[in-house]
């Protein structure tokens, strides 16, 4: 049964709130922004049709405050809520409350969030779908159990939080004598970060690439993929550069990994946007997890397919069919995204403050998604991302040259950013040739050379 969405409340802030506002405006849907007192003058409050304050700056009192957000929806008459990414976007209880209030949640069901948000259950679901998984375990009962299982799997292994993400609760173990101690540390970290200390083990892959596949499913059983994204350039297990297509996939391997992603989504009757993530080890791939939301890096997929993913997400929430997407896409050129963060380019320590001067690049094949402006105050309360710089070109070498040019035009003054790291990265032969893995920055970065890049633009 199809629904009509007339007004969307965006339960988020920053560039993703603006991204949803733009998608809604083109669909002739009115928008409601919510904001903390810190964000009173943010762009998403200015460009939405309405704006409602939901509390003080700290996230638990505002962007994570479910009663205040639901009250804002009722007050404004919004008939749908888009959660964006981060904050409440993968909180099953939030989705349930929204639906119980008679408001459409623009995303998957709460059941899907719970299933794929539990990494142990997600591994089982992937295995049942016939998708390869790394040798591993279910829930570990204690440190002694972990020691027994590690001996069965063989070292090295990696401890992971079942409710985890962003690298928190993840610990690599190479020495059996250190496993029990590491287990306790990882469990405490997971409990602190996620309120759940459940851990499991997987065989550790020494030099993997991180490849993810964009899937789209409707409420009528149709699921398609929109190709893959390469996300191996990371710092502290968090993505920094994403590109599509992946440079090391041939047509056969691309078809296999994309079909595996579709199999996972179909096996759970998934609807809405989703991303199935894999570790690529040579010509073999293994299911890692599934994210049940729009991804930060969705833009590179949009650039190579021409599909507005946020508009598709909204359409799917109304019960629309996917017929117009039911074909296997081939990439149109190459797209690369750099996350520009307010952080030290070497230590990655946050660098909040006021932007005193700002100039974003432009020109053919360049896109910037951002919420900041000259005079904008970067708050310590929220994620440090300032902008996503995306380029598109006919092939990877020309996309790299275009990104170099764009990074050279980008000016952000008054605060520290990771622009020098990006400028250094795009000059490295191994990156340019595509010969890199998820450990590239931690093993290759030259702090002095990165600092010199900063000095060159001072």
| Residue 6 dihedral angles phi and psi, to the nearest 5° | -110, -30
Tokens of 242: 């994403």
| Residue 169 dihedral angles phi and psi, to the nearest 5° | 85, 5
Q: How far apart are CA 451 and CA 433, in angstroms?
A: 24
The three-state secondary structure class of 81 is strand
Residues sharing a CB contact under 8 Å with residue 192, sequence separation 6 or more, in sequence order: none
Residue 425 contacts residue 233 (beta carbons within 8 Å): yes
Cis peptide before 156 (omega within 30 of 0): yes
71-to-55, 62, 107, 166, 281 alpha-carbon distances in Å: 12, 12, 20, 30, 48
Q: How far apart are CA 187 and CA 200, in angstroms?
A: 10
Q: How far apart are CA 34 and CA 448, in angstroms?
A: 42
User: Is 114 tagged catalytic?
Assistant: no
Q: How far apart are CA 264 and CA 258, in angstroms?
A: 10
Residue 232 contacts residue 436 (beta carbons within 8 Å): yes
Q: Catalytic: which of 30, 209, 219, 293?
A: 293
User: Could you give the angle at which helices 309-317 and 298-305 cross, rounded to 10 degrees?
Assistant: 100
Which contacts (CB < 8 Å, 24+ apart) does range 132-136 have?
132/260, 132/284, 132/285, 132/286, 132/287, 133/286, 133/287, 134/202, 134/203, 134/205, 134/279, 134/286, 135/202, 135/203, 136/200, 136/201, 136/202, 136/203
Q: How far apart are CA 250 and CA 382, in angstroms?
A: 39
Outline where DSSP puts E strands in 396-452: 411-413
Q: How far apart are CA 99 and CA 104, in angstroms?
A: 6
Residue 389 contacts residue 361 (beta carbons within 8 Å): yes
Which residue's structure tokens are 């598709």? 312
- In this structure, what DSSP letter does residue 104 have? E
Q: Which residues are catalytic?
A: 293
């Amino acid at each position: 049964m199809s629904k009509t969405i007339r007004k969307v409340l965006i339960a988020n802030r920053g560039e993703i709130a603006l991204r949803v506002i733009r998608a809604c405006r083109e669909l002739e849907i009115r928008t409601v922004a919510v904001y903390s007192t810190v964000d009173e003058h943010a762009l998403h409050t200015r460009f939405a049709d309405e704006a409602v304050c939901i509390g003080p700056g700290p996230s638990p009192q505002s962007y994570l405050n479910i009663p205040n957000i639901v009250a804002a929806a009722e007050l404004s008459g919004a008939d749908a809520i888009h959660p964006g990414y981060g904050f409440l976007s993968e909180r099953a209880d939030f989705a349930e409350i929204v639906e119980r209030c008679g408001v459409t949640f623009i995303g998957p069901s709460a059941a899907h969030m719970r299933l794929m948000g539990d990494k142990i259950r997600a591994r089982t679901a992937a295995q049942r779908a016939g998708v390869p998984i790394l040798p591993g375990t279910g829930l570990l009962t204690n440190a002694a159990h972990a020691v027994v299982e590690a001996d069965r799997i063989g070292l090295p292994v990696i401890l992971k939080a079942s409710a985890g993400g962003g690298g928190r609760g993840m610990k690599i173990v190479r020495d059996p004598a250190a496993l029990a101690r590491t287990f306790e540390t990882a469990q405490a970290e997971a409990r602190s970060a996620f309120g759940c200390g459940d851990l499991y083990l997987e065989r550790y892959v020494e030099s993997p690439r991180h490849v993810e596949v964009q899937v789209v499913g409707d409420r009528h059983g149709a699921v398609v993929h929109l190709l893959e994204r390469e996300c191996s350039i990371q710092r502290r297990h968090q993505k920094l550069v994403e590109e599509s297509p992946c440079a090391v996939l041939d047509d056969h391997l691309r078809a296999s990994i994309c079909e595996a992603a579709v199999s996972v989504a179909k096996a759970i009757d998934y609807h809405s946007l989703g991303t199935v993530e894999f570790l690529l080890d040579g010509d073999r791939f293994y299911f890692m997890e599934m994210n049940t939301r729009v991804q930060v890096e969705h833009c590179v997929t949009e650039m190579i397919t021409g599909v507005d993913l946020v508009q598709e997400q909204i359409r799917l929430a109304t019960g629309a069919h996917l017929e117009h997407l039911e074909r296997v896409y081939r990439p149109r050129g190459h797209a690369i995204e750099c996350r520009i963060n307010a952080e030290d380019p070497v230590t990655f320590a946050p660098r909040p403050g006021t932007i005193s001067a700002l100039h974003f690049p432009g020109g053919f094949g360049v896109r910037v998604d951002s919420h900041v402006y000259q005079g904008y105050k970067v708050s310590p309360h929220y994620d440090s991302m300032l902008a996503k710089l995306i380029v598109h070109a006919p092939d990877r070498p020309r996309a790299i040259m275009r990104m170099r040019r764009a990074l050279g035009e980008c000016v952000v003054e008054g605060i520290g950013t990771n622009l020098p790291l990006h400028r250094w990265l795009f000059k490295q032969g191994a990156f340019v040739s595509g010969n890199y893995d998820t450990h590239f920055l931690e093993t290759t970065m030259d702090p002095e050379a990165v600092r010199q890049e900063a000095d060159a633009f001072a």
